Each structure stands twice: as C-alpha cells, then as structure tokens.
C-alpha cells in the first residue's frame, strides 16, 4: 500500500457511524473518571486528544441511523439510574447535552473534556479529516487555552508536547483501519511519553481478533514504560469473523483510584450492555477485566 493509499484510508473513517456504541461508553467512562481525579487539584492541567473526530454527533444523522450502534451502547443506559458514582457521573454528562430528556446527541472525547475542564485548563486536539476538523475547531473557537490543529496525530505530539503545564491526560484512539496503525501508535506513544512523562495516557484499542489485541498490549508493555493498567470490556463473545466483540483502555500513570473505580463501575455496567444477559454477577465478571500490567 502506498503512503497516499494509507492516508486516504485513514481519512475515510468517520466516527459518526459509531458514536455512542459500547466502545464509546467504556472509553468515555474511563476518560471522565481520570479527568475527575485530575480536577481535584487546583493546578491547571492539559488535555490532549490525538484523533479527536468532530467532537459532537447527532444520533439522528444518516450515518448514526445507518449502523444504529448507539442503540446497543448509550441507548441502553439512557433511562438507567446508575449506582456507581463514576457511571452516574458519565451519564449525567450525556444528559447535560440532551436537556429535553431525548437522546439526540452524543459527545466525542474532546467535547467531554470541554464540558469538564475549567477556564485555566488547556485543550489540545488534532484531527486530519477535512470534514470533521472544521466542526471540531468551531466548538473551541471562543475558548481560551485551546489549540485545535488539522494535522497528523503524531506530528501533533512533536508540535504540541510537552505543554506549558506539567500535568494532564493524553487520549489516543486511532481507528485502526490499517494494520500499520498499531505500530504507528506504539512509536507515537513512545515519543509522546518521552516528551511528557508526567501525563496520564489513555490508549483505546478494539478487540476484533484476540491474538491481535494481545500482541498489541504486549508491544506497549514492551516499551518499558512503567505503571500500566488494562481495562477491558467485551459484551459480545470472541468469534472469528464477528467483528468488534469489545474494546479496552490501556492507561499509563493511572490515578491510584482508577482500578477500584472501574471495578465498581464495570460490575454494574457489564450486564447492562451484554449481548446475552448473564445469569449471575459471577458470569458478568467474565465480560471484563481490570488488571495491572506493569508496576510503578
């Protein structure tokens, strides 16, 4: 595949087809929990989003309606009253965007950051897609301490990291449409961490083929970066040719409370999104894992 073919393939990806699905629920639940922890301190922080997308998605759009993936994700949780604090916090943010109690919009990760961060905090984001970038940029046009660039994610690391503040969250969630994107992410992560080692890094990954997911995790562990936490949820059984059975977040420098927060939230969440309702809490626990991969 030529370089131009690779870029064209990456530029064909539109998250609007997938917004609000079960993978978004997990990704954004982890994001919200990390940001809540970082916001406990008065010092400003920086949020950096590597593959930011459009920022906000209409679930009534042609793209969202074509796949209807949100119906098996946020759609199942819309009227649910969560008990776990972080699951409730995440759902309250979604409701804040839909004040008439109709599920019409779902936020991407930069929009969630925009809802949560304070005026003194900074937001950085990169997005290559020519249609999504202007939509994203318009949402932050009036916000101080924001920098939204129409450049490649890994060029963005070199141009924008380290930020002026020395604490924050870097979120990486490429579409993984090309097999080369796995290697690109490992190389990009290594460069970003070298520049900004104080940050928390949250790396989203799909579970499509179990062997490929494990190889990717092993490659990140193999970087030698310390303090790695794996959070994974698979509401569908692993089957060859099925597609995405689940997804995970690999978190570097996680808040010390994150593992317990996620165990509590996933104990409650797992049966709600499962393809087949589990018979017991024990069965539901087979759908998810929270495990320390590399110690501090």
DSSP 98: -
Q: Considering 121, 132, 152, 173, which one is annotated as catalytic?
A: 173
Q: Which is nearest to 22 in space by CA: 235, 285, 203, 263?
A: 235
Query: Can you tell me whether residue 175 is helix, strand or coil?
Result: coil
**Would you say the C-alpha torsion 33, 35, 38, 42 has a positive or negative sign?**
negative
Per-residue DSSP letters for 218-244?
A: HHHHTT----EEEEEE-SS---TTS--
Q: Give CB contacts under 8 A, 24+ apart, made by 184-193.
A: 184/154, 186/216, 186/219, 186/220, 186/223, 187/154, 188/50, 188/153, 188/154, 188/157, 189/220, 189/223, 189/225, 190/223, 190/225, 191/154, 191/157, 191/158, 192/157, 192/161, 193/223, 193/225, 193/252
User: What is the C-alpha separation between 260 and 294, in angstroms, rounded?
Assistant: 17
Q: Which two tokens stand for residue 156?
A: 């963005």
* Residue 97 and residue 28 in contact, taking contact as beta carbons nearer than 8 Å: no
R_g of the chain, CA atoms, integer Å? 18
Q: Which is nearest to 51 in space by CA: 127, 105, 117?
A: 127
Task: Identify whether 173 is a catalytic site residue.
Answer: yes
Q: Looking at the annotation, which residues are catalytic? A: 173
């Amino acid at each position: 595949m030529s370089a131009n073919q690779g870029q064209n393939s990456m530029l064909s990806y539109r998250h609007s087809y997938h917004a609000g699905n079960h993978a978004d629920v997990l990704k954004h639940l982890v994001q919200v929990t990390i940001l809540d922890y970082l916001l406990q301190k008065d010092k400003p922080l920086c949020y950096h989003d590597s593959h930011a997308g459009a920022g906000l998605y209409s679930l009534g759009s042609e793209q969202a309606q074509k796949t209807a993936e949100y119906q098996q994700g946020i759609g199942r949780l819309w009227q649910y009253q969560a008990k776990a604090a972080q699951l409730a916090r995440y759902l309250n943010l979604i409701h804040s965007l839909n004040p008439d109690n109709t599920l019409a919009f779902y936020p991407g990760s930069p929009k969630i950051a925009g809802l949560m961060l304070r005026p003194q905090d900074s937001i950085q984001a990169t997005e290559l897609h020519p249609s999504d970038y202007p939509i994203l940029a318009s949402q932050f046009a009036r916000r101080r301490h924001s920098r939204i660039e129409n450049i490649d994610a890994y060029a963005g690391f070199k141009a924008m990291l380290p930020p002026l503040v020395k604490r924050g969250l870097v979120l990486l969630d490429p579409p993984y449409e090309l097999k080369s994107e796995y290697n690109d992410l490992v190389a990009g992560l290594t460069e970003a961490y070298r520049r900004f080692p104080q940050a928390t890094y949250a790396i989203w990954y799909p579970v499509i083929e179990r062997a490929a997911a494990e190889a990717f995790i092993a490659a990140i562990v193999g970087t030698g970066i310390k303090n790695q936490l794996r959070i994974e949820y698979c509401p569908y059984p692993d089957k060859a040719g099925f597609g995405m059975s689940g997804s995970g977040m690999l978190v570097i420098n996680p808040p010390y409370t994150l593992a317990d927060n996620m165990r509590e939230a996933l104990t409650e969440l797992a049966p709600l999104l499962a393809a087949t309702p589990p018979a017991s809490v024990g069965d539901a626990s087979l759908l998810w894992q929270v495990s320390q991969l590399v110690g501090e």
